[in-house]
Amino acid sequence: MASAYSQEQLSQFFDHINLPKVLREDPQPTLIFLKALHTHSLATFPYENLSLHYNAAHSIELDPQHLFRKMVTDNRGRGGFCMEIAILYNHVLRAIGFDAYTAGVRTRGRLEGVPRGDYPGWNHIVNIITFPNGSRYHSDVAFGGDGATMPMPLTDGLIHDNLGTQQIRLKRDWIPHQVHRTEETKLWIYQYRNSQDKEWNSFYSFPGTEFLALDWDVVNWWVNTHADSHQRRNVLTIKFLLRPKESDASFEGEMEIYGKKNACEPSFQRELGRKDRNHRYV
């Protein structure tokens, strides 16, 4: 299936995320390009659910052209929640020539800031990219706090440095309540720890199975309408911060994520009066 976006829209997207000129001269579906696209998309599009709370319908539309207008053409600094950003990103990946599809994810809720409890039904989305040599990568540009700041190869246990002292990895394992347990039914589990002396926290799991547009319509309906949806209960905005890479740059103009700022109710309301006071920098 072809991307919903034209080459003209692709150029608009590159402008919007300030993709370095050296990469734009000849866009190729390479790992270096994927890393840059991940970094610039993550820093450009805030993870936020303002439309769900403040538009007249209190619902989210996932049509790719609507998403492009909202986040790119209108140029209002908007992002979206996970499905909005990830679906936009998926069509951009495919317009470039990447072999990319979206996959469903089960994300655990937080208790006192730490993911705890059962893995619920499908409530998140990631992109899976396959390269000609067979290597596969997970790219999640729409998770918010404690999310990966780079694409991660689907390699069991490989540790990556994330923000500050935080480390992340993908582990292959089963989750509670799985009945059919074989090597083939193990899932990918996204984990983080805030320093090397801390324990690993398992945040979400996914099998890597492709989800279609109609599947996302079902997930989106639940997130928009169900009383247990945390998106309905909380106003969320998370913005990642970008700076020039200080060392080991792979190309001219390479950037890196160095932090994030969070704002949510009720502190978001107070932030309108005294900017930055209620932001938490990590």
The pLDDT averaged over each successive group of 10 residues in the chain (282 residues) is: 95 98 93 98 95 88 98 96 98 98 96 91 98 98 93 98 96 97 98 96 98 97 88 88 89 92 56 32 30
Closest among 153, 161, 121, 147 to 135, alpha carbons compared: 153
Give me the pLDDT at residue 264, please. Answer: 64
Q: How far is the first Cα of the chain from the last one, in angstroms, to the nearest whole number? A: 40
Range 7-232: architecture per CATH: 2-Layer Sandwich (3.30)
Residues in contact with 179: Cβ distance below 8 Å, sequence separation at least 6, in sequence order: none
pLDDT of residue 246: 81
Residue type, 279: H
What pLDDT is stored for residue 232 in this prediction? 84
What's this model's pTM, rounded to 2 decimal places? 0.91
DSSP state letters, 114-134: EE-S---SS-EEEEEEE-TTS
Q: Contact 111/127 with Cβ under 8 angstroms?
A: no
Q: Give the model's pLDDT for residue 250.
A: 87
Sheet-wide strand order for 160-161: 152-153, 136-139, 124-130, 99-107, 201-206, 187-193, 167-173, 160-161
DSSP H or E stretch at residue 13: helix 7-16
Alpha-carbon distances of 26 from 22, 23, 39, 77, 93, rounded to whole Å:
8, 6, 19, 27, 14
> Residue 60 in contact with residue 223, Cβ under 8 Å?
yes
Question: What is the DSSP secondary structure assignment for residue 4, as one 8-state letter?
Answer: S
Domain ranges of the chain: 7-232
